[in-house]
Amino acid sequence: MSRGCDAARWHPSPNFGPRRDGLRPDLVVLHYTGMSSAQAALERLCDPGAEVSAHYLIGADGRLWQLVAEAQRAWHAGAGAWLGRVDVNSRSIGIELENPGDRPFPAPQMQRLEALLAGVLARWGIPPAGVIGHADMAPGRKHDPGPRFDWRRLARSGLALRPGAAPPGPWPAFAPTLDAIGYPPAPEAARLAAFRARFRPQARDAAPHVTDADRAVAAAVLTACRQEAGHR
């Protein structure tokens, strides 16, 4: 298998290793760099002392670098889990997006991400529900790609989970619904913040406790997850 995306500039990082236990990627984890520039992020992701990396970095202007071959294990996810499965690094492709974390993601960057994701999902047979944010798998510890990221755009393109309308209430309890979607154990406030950033970004200033609107959207997300799983 080739390193990955032919359109990428190959900029190898020393920070990688083999995927453990014969695992293959079944997730894509999206990050923001939280740094001032793509160059600063590139230097850190390739610094042996930093011990971090990702498979890809996409600049705000749409430039794309590949740092680690897709078949290898990049060091981007850290502690966390999804659907009860740990060692997310061995199970995922990591994509870093140049963004300090406080602004929208520019159109050239999103266009390049869409093209990259389409190839990654096809190469590895990853379903749209397998595209998650760093905050999803590590709520409370991580917050990227944050509420400014346009998840709906990816969903419309078939590159992320696309929930439908919420089913009629009453809706199931929030915590077990998040468990079934894939979120790992964490304090309720952390999981609520991660869920809202992903699926209810307009609710950033809502009450700091679970509401019926949260339960309704979570029920819709779980329904979409189950429908997608049933179609595979």
Task: Verify whether residue 70 is a known catalytic residue.
Answer: no
**Structure tokens that stand for 230 in this block:** 């049933």
> In this structure, what DSSP letter does residue 171 have?
P
Q: Give the separation between CA 131 and CA 124, rounded to whole angstroms.
A: 12
| Orientation of helix 188-199 relative to helix 212-231, angle to 10° | 70
Residue among 43, 51, 96, 114 flagged as catalytic: 96
What are the residues whose beta carbons fall under 8 Å from the beta carbon of 229, sequence distance 6 or more? 127, 129
Residue 191 Cα distances to 135, 188, 215, 217, angstroms: 9, 5, 13, 14
Q: Give the separation between CA 11 and CA 41, rounded to whole angstroms.
A: 12
User: Is the distance from CB of 129 to CB of 60 less than 8 angstroms?
Assistant: no
Q: Which residues are catalytic?
A: 96
